[in-house]
Amino acid sequence: MLSYPRDRTCPYQPSPEYQELGEKGPLHRVSLWDGKSIWMVTGHAQGRSLLADPRMSADRSRDDFPVVLPRFEAPIFKPIALIGYDPPVHDIHRRMLAPAFSLKHVRDMRPAVEALTSDLIDRMLRTGPPADLVADFALPIPSMVISNLLGVPYEDHEFFEEKTVGLLQAKDAAGAEAAGQALWDYLDELITAQEDGADGPGVIAALAGQIDDRDLTREDLLRIALALLIGGHDTTSQMIALGVVTLLEHPDQQAAFTEGSEVIPPAVDELLRMVSVTDVSGVRVATEDIEIGGQVIRAGEGVLVSSSMANRDPSVYGDPYTFDVHRTGRGGVVSGRQHLTFGYGIHQCLGQNLARMELEVAFSALFTRIPEIRLAVPAGELPSRSGGTMQGVHSLPVEW
């Protein structure tokens, strides 16, 4: 039985071991660090079905919920807002947040993100090569954006960026809990200021006024703020970084980001399909027996849907390991948005509109303003994250 997780050998392709599993069928048993086993889903149709099935629970406080990595034993993760709750609590909180992440609001935010991105490129050009594209570009964009959206002071960005990495990359539960508690205390003070009448802009201030100890408690707000702060910048920054690596490794595809606006959205979705920085569309536990893909998932068994493999299901994507920004699916239909990088069902990523917009702006501006940009080291020598499900690089040296 394959042990999970396995490291990638290529920044934008799943591990060779996952690829071997995908050739054998849509569902597989894999073993975790604690000796327990769960189902790993590599089939696209099966992944969508299970992520939308009400018999699959996302409640991380359950005793039978699978702990994929040691860090997830930390109390700070049990549960984590939105992705770790089942209805009705999940639905209530998601409705509260929906206006801030709506397509209309994201469109209104775009000019500010374009100005920010332009300023960061100006600074890189003034300083001159080489540059670390993570620290100088990929991280500041989503970090500033989520700070403004939530009402978190950006001058504290080094603190919450450091603690977010500490939480998401911790080797054990103790390390994750320490980093998570530091973030919790920081947000607790911020919410206290809002409750004391120091009204400010952003989602946290708006929700602080809705605490009623029924639909929204103070702890609920803390968990929501923590989840949004964590999710709002790390995954997007790594998607920008690994997306740049992917495009630099496929120079024939870069033109999509300088040819015209109509080509850019499907090109971004092809990058999202290809890179799949989270590597996981969702982790669940079955509350009833479920027959699917020729297997029976028993009540109490854990399930992990692999986005990187479901996004390469040949029944959906022809030549699935090929990066093609002009990709079409079966029957000539554009298939980019069928990917499971943002999950599926009621827990599909709340911030997907925001993430897509940030990626469109970042890639378009970077390759238009610095068309000669290139990696300063071979892709195989990049300092990559290892031992987890969150893909990324610690730094990205570039020159031009």
CATH code at position 235? 1.10.630.10
- Cα 396 to Cα 76: distance, rounded to the nearest angstrom: 30
pLDDT at res. 193: 83
Q: Which of 45-54, 75-84, 183-192, 257-266 has the lowest mean pLDDT?
A: 257-266
Q: Which residue has the tokens 């079409």?
A: 328
pLDDT at res. 328: 65
Q: Which has more pLDDT, 327 or 113?
A: 113
pLDDT at res. 332: 42
263-301 core/surface letters (b: 16 or more CB in 10 A; e: else): ebbbbbbbbbbbbbbbbbbbbbbbbeebebbebebeeeb
Rounded to an integer, the average pLDDT of 342-365 is: 96
Q: Is the pLDDT of residue 334 over 50?
A: no
Q: Is the pLDDT of residue 333 over 50?
A: no
pLDDT at res. 198: 55
Rounded to an integer, the average pLDDT of 159-164 is: 91
What's the whole-number average pLDDT of the chain? 93
- Cα 81 to Cα 152: distance, rounded to the nearest angstrom: 18
Nearest Cα to Cα of residue 43 among 51, 31, 53: 51
pLDDT at res. 337: 72
Rounded to an integer, the average pLDDT of 354-368 is: 97
Cβ-Cβ contacts under 8 Å for 220 (sequence gap 6 or more): 81, 93
Rounded to an integer, the average pLDDT of 361-368 is: 97
- Cα 225 to Cα 201: distance, rounded to the nearest angstrom: 14
Q: Is the pLDDT of residue 146 over 90?
A: yes
Q: Is the pLDDT of residue 331 over 50?
A: no
Number of folded domains that form the chain = 1
Confidence of residue 89 (pLDDT cuts 50, 70, 90): very high
- C-beta neighbour count of 226 within 10 angstroms: 22
- C-beta neighbour count of 58 within 10 angstroms: 24
Rounded to an integer, the average pLDDT of 285-304 is: 97
* Structural domain span for residue 76: 2-399
15-44, pLDDT tens digit by residue? Answer: 999 999 999 999 999 999 999 999 999 999
The sign one gets for the Cα dihedral 278, 266, 317, 43 is: positive
Count of CA atoms in the C-beta half-sphere (13 A) of 11: 26
Rounded to an integer, the average pLDDT of 345-350 is: 96
